[in-house]
């Protein structure tokens, strides 16, 4: 259990062009994709913000906010969530990663320290949409959007950041931990 309050930010406003339908409301293994992610971050978050431009999320105990910079991808969602939060740090996660356990986020929070961004990595792959973001990173994301350069990895590299390697050595690890559902075939 965390002693400092942490906001959860679920990115649920993507165009879902590859999936063909809004990802948060896709049923997978008996639950909606957004429910898997919501339940994973709830134990470590004092409140949850869903960043989405459409859809009814009233069945979840969360605040829903739209993108401030529509059609700018996940950078816009991160910016909107960081703008709306009232804590100093947030768990940021996309709605299409249903296998992430609360223990992963607890581990990332413990490693976060005074970084602006802490993201998960595995087998040399960094996951910019699975991590801990400090409120102080907000201006970098907003400036990138204003400049027309909404590329999350580039923005993250401009911050004080770290990647935390996740492997079989972690007790919460599973081979499909970082499953990302983007197309109907992925389902």
Cα(142)–Cα(93) distance, integer angstroms: 18
68 and 10 Cβ atoms separated by less than 8 Å: no
Number of domains in the chain: 1
> Does residue 89 belong to any structural domain of this protein?
yes
Query: Domain containing 30 — which CATH number?
Result: 3.90.550.10
What percentage of the chain reaches a pLDDT higher than 70? 91
Cα(86)–Cα(9) distance, integer angstroms: 12
pTM above 0.75, yes or no: yes
pLDDT exceeds 80 at position 61? yes
Q: Which residues contact 60 (CB under 8 A, 6 or more apart)?
A: 34, 35, 38, 48, 50
Question: What tokens appear for 80 in the block?
Answer: 């909107």
Range of the domain at 137: 7-186
List, for residues 84-105, the tens digit of each pLDDT value.
Answer: 999 999 999 999 999 999 999 9
List, for residues 10-37, the tens digit of each pLDDT value.
Answer: 999 765 555 556 788 999 999 999 999 9
How does the average pLDDT of the chain come out, rounded? Answer: 92
> Does residue 1 belong to any structural domain of this protein?
no
> Does residue 2 belong to any structural domain of this protein?
no
């Amino acid at each position: 259990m965390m002693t400092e309050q942490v906001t959860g930010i679920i990115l649920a406003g993507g165009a879902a062009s590859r999936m063909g339908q809004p990802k948060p409301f896709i049923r997978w293994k008996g639950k909606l994709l957004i429910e898997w992610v919501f339940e994973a971050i709830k134990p470590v978050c004092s409140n949850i913000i869903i960043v989405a431009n459409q859809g009814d999320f009233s069945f979840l105990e969360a605040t829903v906010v739209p993108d401030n910079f529509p059609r700018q991808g996940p950078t816009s969602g991160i910016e909107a969530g960081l703008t709306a939060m009232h804590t100093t740090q947030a768990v940021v996660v996309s709605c299409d990663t249903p296998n992430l356990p609360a223990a992963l986020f607890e581990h990332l929070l413990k490693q976060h320290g005074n970084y602006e961004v802490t993201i998960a990595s595995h087998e040399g792959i960094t996951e910019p949409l699975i991590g801990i973001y400090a409120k102080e990173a907000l201006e970098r994301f907003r400036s990138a959007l204003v400049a027309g350069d909404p590329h999350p990895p580039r923005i993250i590299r401009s911050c004080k950041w770290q990647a935390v390697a996740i492997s079989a050595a972690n007790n919460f690890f599973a081979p499909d931990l970082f499953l990302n559902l983007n197309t109907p075939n992925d389902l």
